[in-house]
Each structure stands twice: as structure tokens, then as C-alpha cells.
Amino acid sequence: MSAPRLLHPGAWWLWAVALSACALRTTNPVLLCLIIAVAGWVVVSRRADVPWSRSFASCLRLGMIVIIVRVVFQILFGVRVSGMTLFTIPEVTLPDWAAGVSLGGPVTLESLMAALYQGLRLAAVLACFGAATSLCSPYRMLRALPTVLYEAGVAVTIAFTFAPQAIVASRQVREARRLRGRSDRGVRAWTASALPVLEGALDRAVALAASMDSRGYGRRGSSSVAVRRRSIGLVLLGLVAIAVGSYGLLDPGAPALFRVPALALGAAALLGALIAGGRSTTRTRYRPDPWAAPEWIVSFAGVVAFGSFVSVSRMGDALNPSTNPLEVPAVPVLAVVGLLVAALPAWCAPRPPALVAPSTMAVAA
């Protein structure tokens, strides 16, 4: 248990992505619920006390909504699979311009369960994303960007810094409207206040640019031709691979190699290009986040869980319980164990330090 510090955002994201990949491989409600629980547990025990750590809760709520939407969708548009009819709603057929789809009819338990499973899966994926966002500070995330994306990162940072001020400014402007004897409520007031805020923002941008310029912004070693060639080459390779991959994805005739492997290769090449390009800048990072044992453990935990799911899916249908006929979902022990491993970060990750959050997220609430 190391001293309180923020874990490298990359580790959290790896963990979360692996977990969501697990969720994608199953419609087993039990496992999905377990995934959500694991994510929640880790978030609760390792999130910093900062505004953005709330996003997990909101993602859970969103997940709930997704489930409901999916089920309602099934009830309205569901094609009537045979089975135990729960209730029947009157049939309607939409006009042709709306593609003449027909709504309503008898609603069966089987169809509802299928919808529920699918909704649950999406909810689980959302929960994983929510976990990642609420576990790592966006600022750290930006600092972890590859250096070629530095400019974009700076732009985002500026946006973070400026957003709350823009909100304050818009409030002042609305007050100012009242001072000038205009109503400060309603959409009109809101729109009218938008413009002065924008103008202030733009003036602000000019001042900011001057300050950045005089503080050495954009002072980078001209990227050497070799490096540039290398990164461009990588990019092209990546593009070709992706093209092949997406072709293979769509054409049944294409050999298996032309599919996911090709796309993976493409992704790798692009990533390589980003990193290779980074070498060319003379910029340095102040106190970069270390990638130490805890980072390894956390990301490893996620990978283990994913591995367990893959091996389970090899063994049979336990990950996708049939809803028609409706059967009691089996609980593959291996997958459960894998998910428990994924819960390890709740203990292995260092506690976050007590840091004061900048007002960005707060005001946004």
C-alpha cells in the first residue's frame, strides 16, 4: 500500500476497457450485475474526493435508463417471439413515410428477458466507462497524452480553465441585463447573454495567446525529417491495414486474417505513429505520472478478467444464456473468479491524495 497518489490514468482506462470488453462478451445477467458491482466497488474505494468522481453515479443512472428504454422498445416494436404471453397491446401500423413499421401485439416474457439482458449489457459497459472517468482526473489524462497531441491537449486544458469563468461571465451578463432594465429570465435573455460572453471569451483568447507566446509556447525542435518520415510511414501503414480490415469486416468472402487482426494492426500502427511523432518535440513534462507496480497490478487485473471471459466463452454458451426457451443462466465459476480479480484494485491501487478540485466541473454541475 503505497503513499497516497493518483494512479496513472492509463492504468485505470486499461482496467476499465478490459472490464467493458468482458461485459461485451456476455449477456449473462448474473455476470453483468457482478461487473457493475465490481466497478462500483473499486470506484467507491479509490475515487478522489473531486467533482468528476460523480460521473460514475450518473453513468449508472444512464445505464438504468438504457435498460428501461430497451425494454420499452421491445414492448413497442418487439416482433412477437413465441412463449409465455404476459400481456397484449393493440397493434398499430405507421404510415409509409415512416417505413410502415408495425407496433404492438402480444408481449412475451422471453422477448422481455432478451431485451433486459441486452440493456443490462449496455448498462454494464456504461458503468465501466463511468468508473474510468470518475477514477482518473481529466487533467492527469491530458498530461498523459502523447506529446504530439500536446497542442490539442493545451486547447482542452484552456477550455477547462475557461469554462467556469464563462459560466460566471454569463451570469454577470444576465445580471447586467437586469441593470439595464431588461428581463434576466427566459430563453431570450439566455441567447442575448451568449454573445457578450462570447466576445469576452474572444478578447480573453487574444490575451491568453500573447501570454502563451511570450512563455515559449510552440517552441519545439523542428521535427527531424527521419522522425517525420517514420511517423508518416506508420500512419500510412495503419490506414492501409484499417482499409483492409474494414473491407474484410464487411465482405464474408475475405479470409479471417483480413478482419480483426488487420484492424488491430492498423490501430497499433496509428498508436506507434503518435508515439514516434512525440519523440521529435523538445518539450518536457513536469512531474510526469510514474508507471509503477500499482499501475501494473491494476491493468493486469483487468486483463485477467478478460482472459477468464475468453476462456469461458471457448467452453460453451454459459456467457450467453438462452432466453428462448428461457433458462436459468448458469454461473461460470471461472468468470466470477476473473471478475473478483478485477476487483483487486480496490485494495492494490494507492489511495488518491486529498486535492482541491478546480472549479470547472463544479460549476458545470
Partner 1 sequence: MTLPLSQTAMKQTAMKRSSLRRARRALGAALLGIAALAGVVVGGASPAGASSCSGPIAGGEIRVVLVVDASDLGGGASATCLVVAAGTTGSQLLARRGSELGTGAPRYGSSGLLCAIDGRPASGCGDRSAGGFEYWAYFNGSSGSWVYGNFNPFTRRLSDGDIEGWRYVSGAGNGQDPPPRIGPARSLFPALAPSLPSLPDLSSLAPPSGAGDSPSSGARSAVVPSTSPSTGEARVDPSGDTSVDGVSSSTTVDDSVAVGAVALASSSTTHSTTGRWIGIAAVFVLIAVMAGGAWVQTRRSR
Partner 2 sequence: MTVATPRRVDAVRLGLTAWVLLVAAFALGIVAFAWPLFASASSSIDASHSNDAPWIFVVLIPLLIGVILAELADGSLDAKSVALLGVLAASGAVLRLPSGGVAGFEPVFFLLVPAGRVFGRGFGFVLGAITLFVSALITGGVGPWLPFQMFGAAWIGFFAGCLPPARGRIEIAMLAAYGAIAALAYGLVMNLWFWPFVSAGDTTVSYVAGDSLVDNLRRFWGFHVTTSFGFDIPRAVFTALFIVVAGRPVLGALRRVARRAAFEAPVSFIDASASGSTN
Partner 3 sequence: MIRFEHVTITYPEASAPTLVDVSFEVPEGELCLVVGVTGSGKSTLLRAVNGLVPRFSGGVLAGSVTIDGLSTSAVPPRDLADVVGVVGQDPAAGFVTDYVEDELAYAMENLGVAPDVMRRRVEDILDLLGLHELRNRPLASLSGGQQQRVAIGSVLTAGPRVLVLDEPTSALDPAAAEEVLAALTRLVHDLGITVLIAEHRLERVVQYADRIVMVPGDGRQVVVGTPAEVFGQSSVAPPVVELGRLAGWAPLPLSVRDARRVAGPLREQLASVDSAPFSRATRSPGEVIATTNGLQASYGPVTALRGVDVEFRAGEVVALMGRNGAGKSTLLNHLVGLREPASGAVQVMGSQPHRLSARDVVRVAGLVPQDSGVLLYHDTVAAECSASDRDAGLTNGTTRTVLDRIVPGVDPSTHPRDLSEGQRLGLALSIVLASEPPLLLLDEPTRGLDYGAKQRLVAVLEQLAADGHAVVIATHDVEVVASVADRCIVLAEGEVVADGPARDVVVHSPVFAPQVAKVLAPLALLTVHEVELALAVASDSPYK
- The residues that touch partner 3, with contacts defined as CB under 8 A, are 139, 154, 157-158, 160-161, 164-165, 169, 172-173, 175-184, 192, 195-196, 199-200, 203-204, 207-219, 221, 282-288, 355-360
Distances (CA, A) of 201 to 104, 159, 161: 52, 11, 12
Q: Check: CB of residue 244 under 8 Å from CB of residue 258.
A: yes
Q: Which is nearer to partner 2, 101 or 293 (CB)?
A: 101
**Does 331 participate in binding partner 1 (rule CB under 8 A)?**
yes
Residue from 59, 113, 173, 318 touching partner 2 (CB under 8 A): that is: 59
Give the Cα separation of 55 and 50 in Å (integer). 10
CA-closest candidate to residue 63, choices 8, 129, 19, 107: 129
CB of 295 to partner 2, least distance (A): 20
Q: Check: CB of residue 334 under 8 Å from CB of residue 304.
A: no
Give the Cα separation of 229 and 289 in Å (integer). 29
* DSSP state string for 276-335: HHHTT-----SSPPP--HHHHHHHHHHHHHHHHHHHHHHH-GGGS--BTTB-PPP--HHH
287 binds, among partner 2, partner 3, partner 1, none (CB under 5 to 8 A by kind): partner 3
Give the Cα separation of 161 and 212 in Å (integer). 14
Backbone angles phi, psi at 56, to 5 degrees: -65, -45
**Does 80 participate in binding partner 1 (rule CB under 8 A)?**
yes
| Region near partner 2 per CB under 8 A, out of 33-41, 47-55, 172-180, 341-349 | 47-55
The amino acid sitting at 104 is: G
| Region near partner 1 per CB under 8 A, out of 79-87, 143-151, 198-206, 221-229 | 79-87
**Does 216 participate in binding partner 1 (rule CB under 8 A)?**
no
CB of 342 to partner 2, least distance (A): 18
CB of 74 to partner 2, least distance (A): 6
Site string for partner 1, 141-180 (x = CB under 8 A): -----------------------x---x--x---------
Give the Cα separation of 311 and 302 in Å (integer). 15
CA-closest candidate to residue 166, choices 194, 132, 206: 194
**Does 267 participate in binding partner 2 (rule CB under 8 A)?**
yes
Q: Check: CB of residue 341 under 8 Å from CB of residue 141.
A: no
355 binds, among partner 3, partner 1, partner 2, none (CB under 5 to 8 A by kind): partner 3
**Exposure b/e, 261-290, CB count within 10 A at least 16 = b:** ebbebbeebbebbbebbbebbeeeeeeebe
CB of 122 to partner 2, least distance (A): 6
Q: Which of residues 182-211 bind partner 1 (CB under 8 A)?
A: none
Residue from 29, 189, 233, 246 touching partner 2 (CB under 8 A): that is: 246
314 binds, among partner 3, partner 1, partner 2, none (CB under 5 to 8 A by kind): none
| Region near partner 1 per CB under 8 A, out of 9-17, 45-53, 279-287, 290-298 | 45-53
CA-closest candidate to residue 17, choices 345, 339, 306: 306
84 binds, among partner 1, partner 3, partner 2, none (CB under 5 to 8 A by kind): partner 1
Residue from 30, 37, 68, 103 touching partner 2 (CB under 8 A): that is: 103
Q: Which of residues 221-260 bind partner 1 (CB under 8 A)?
A: 252-253, 256
Q: Check: CB of residue 192 under 8 Å from CB of residue 177.
A: yes
Residue from 21, 37, 158, 334 touching partner 1 (CB under 8 A): that is: 37
Residue from 5, 10, 21, 54 touching partner 1 (CB under 8 A): that is: 54
Residue from 146, 154, 320, 351 touching partner 1 (CB under 8 A): that is: 320
Handedness of CA 8, 11, 17, 19 (dihedral sign): negative
94 binds, among partner 3, partner 1, partner 2, none (CB under 5 to 8 A by kind): partner 2
